[in-house]
Chain A
Amino acid sequence: MFALRETAVSLTFFVLSYCLLSALVAVGWRSLKVLRVTQQSTAALLFTLRILPLAASVIITFAFVVPSFQLLEPRSIDEGLGTMPLVFGICALALITWGCYRVIGAHTKASRVVARWLEGATPLDADPQSVVFRSSGEAPPLTLVGVRRPRVLVSESTVAVLTRDELQIALRHEHAHMHTRDNLTKLVFRFCPFPGMATLESAWSYAAELAADDAAVLNLDDAINLAAALVKLSRLLPVEAAPFCTVGFVTGSVGARVARLLAWDEAGKAQPTRLRSWHLIPLALVTLSCVFITYGHALALTHEATEWLVR
């Protein structure tokens, strides 16, 4: 019974903190717009915010709830499970199951489509290690597929309509997505469902596209070539248009991206700040110090809350 109670209480804390933090993020993420940082940093910040509720809930559960229960709950007491922990525990299990289902579902669905696109695909160049494939079948113009082993799929029509320079810069854009593991990020998002997060995910998606544009472009010539590739490929209708290529698009993004690329020179002059991971080190140190100093007190408080829940 002790272990069961501990599990139920831990899951209760997990689900409550997850929902509370998710609601806060869903409401407050737009305040990030005031920051003037690079698109790469924007994408990273949005990703951090999106997974913050899950990460923080897991940390709260394993760093505070489980130890407080283990250390402060007398094992001899024959206490019942309690309605609240039971109900919230079931909710937490349902949430975790739903998250897993969404991840597996998305992965399976994508794998099925990609397998079809890869039928008869050949490497674009002679390199045996090549990750760029020319799809002979009906695939979207240019797509990065796969999570563990990402590959870039280029359709026949893309090769036909783009010049060599345009194709190269477009491939650099996809390689930038590959480098930042954006497909994996999308799967992670699937694991943390919460109402109202779709707009944050769309914002991340758009920032990730702009960040990949920035990573691919080195000079104005590249920017013009990428803009030309965007316009040309926009004329090609993706065959899998219905479920996969049409959702998650921010209206006018191709126009906005082309305009941004054509203004590349001006944009380069006023480079916004790029946030580095070491910028977070002072914050992390302060947080860790606070936790270290107040840990005993925090455990006692957590246990009090646990008692209140079980009662």
Chain B
Amino acid sequence: MTKPFSIFGSDTRPQLGPFEQQLLQKLWSQGSATVRELLADGKIHQAYTTVMTTVDRLYKKGLLDRVPEGRAFRYTPRHTHEELQRVTAVESIRQLLGSADASSLPLSYLVEALSTHDAQLLDELQLLVERKRRELQNQETNNPANKDRE
């Protein structure tokens, strides 16, 4: 079984994005649900695909179980809220007593723990990057001398 505390970073706070936390809370209250059922009451305003990606990510983090239901999956939380809080506390103590085991492995990633970022944040960042790129292109178009200098 995937250790649930592997989702927590060196910081003692849980490393789940706000939307991941919201979905997890909803699944705890409902017991189990498909993506469509999660969206049914209209409290979640994200797109179907965003919810699907996020629950899939929670499943890959070992926080959810899933069984096929028709063409979709039914997701169930693998741990209760209390269990998750307990492992968070254990992890906090582990952090206090020494370096986290995996963080200091001799490997360097360009992006570490990317799954802690929900799709919404990445979409916003993508928009920022595109806007900046357009600005730069406009500047270069308006002032081609700058590009020649570079």
A residues contacting B by CB (< 8 A) are 106-107, 109-110, 113-114, 140-147, 170, 173-174, 177, 182-184, 186-187, 189-190, 193-199, 201-202, 205, 208-209, 219-221, 224, 227-231, 233-238, 241-251, 253-255, 258-259, 262
Contacts and interface: CB of A to CB of B under 8 A. Distances in A.
Given A234-B114, A250-B9, A114 B107 contact: yes
Given A248-B113, A250-B11, 18 more contacts: A145-B107, A186-B106, A197-B99, A198-B98, A209-B112, A219-B150, A221-B136, A224-B129, A224-B136, A231-B122, A234-B117, A242-B62, A243-B102, A247-B102, A249-B10, A249-B112, A249-B113, A250-B9
15 contacts: A110-B107, A147-B106, A177-B108, A183-B107, A190-B99, A198-B96, A202-B11, A230-B125, A234-B122, A242-B61, A247-B6, A247-B10, A248-B112, A253-B112, A262-B128
A196 B93 CA distance: 10
A254 B111 CA distance: 7
Q: Could you say which of B98, B102, B110, B150 has the most chain A C-beta atoms within 10 Å of its C-beta?
A: B110
Contacts of A230: 110-111, 125
A251 B9 contact: yes
Nearest to A219: B150
Contacts of A262: 128-129, 132
A228 B108 contact: no
A247 B100 contact: yes
A227 B128 CA distance: 9
A244 B3 CA distance: 12
B98 A193 contact: yes
Interface in B118-143: 121-122, 125-126, 128-129, 132-133, 136
A234 B116 CA distance: 9
A246 B9 contact: yes
Interface in B47-89: 57, 60-62
Given A242-B3, A246-B116, A248-B10, A231 B125 contact: yes
B122 A106 contact: no
Interface of B: 2-3, 6-11, 13, 15, 57, 60-62, 95-117, 121-122, 125-126, 128-129, 132-133, 136, 150
Given A201-B10, A201-B99, A110 B133 contact: no
Nearest to B150: A219
Given A220-B136, A241-B61, A246-B115, A143 B109 contact: yes
Contacts of B62: 242
Q: Could you say which of A194, A249, A251, A262 has the most chain B C-beta atoms within 10 Å of its C-beta?
A: A249
A63 to B, nearest CB: 28
B95 to A, nearest CB: 5
Contacts of B121: 255
Q: Could you say which of A107, A143, A183, A251 has the most chain B C-beta atoms within 10 Å of its C-beta?
A: A251
Contact of B57 (A187, A229, A237): A237
Q: Could you say which of B2, B13, B112 has the most chain A C-beta atoms within 10 Å of its C-beta?
A: B112
B136 A233 contact: no
Contacts of A236: 114
A283 B114 CA distance: 42
A37 to B, nearest CB: 22
B137 to A, nearest CB: 10
A293 to B, nearest CB: 39
Contacts of A114: 107
B113 to A, nearest CB: 3
B106 A174 contact: no
Contacts of B10: 198-199, 201-202, 205, 247-250
Contacts of B101: 106, 243, 247
Nearest to A110: B105
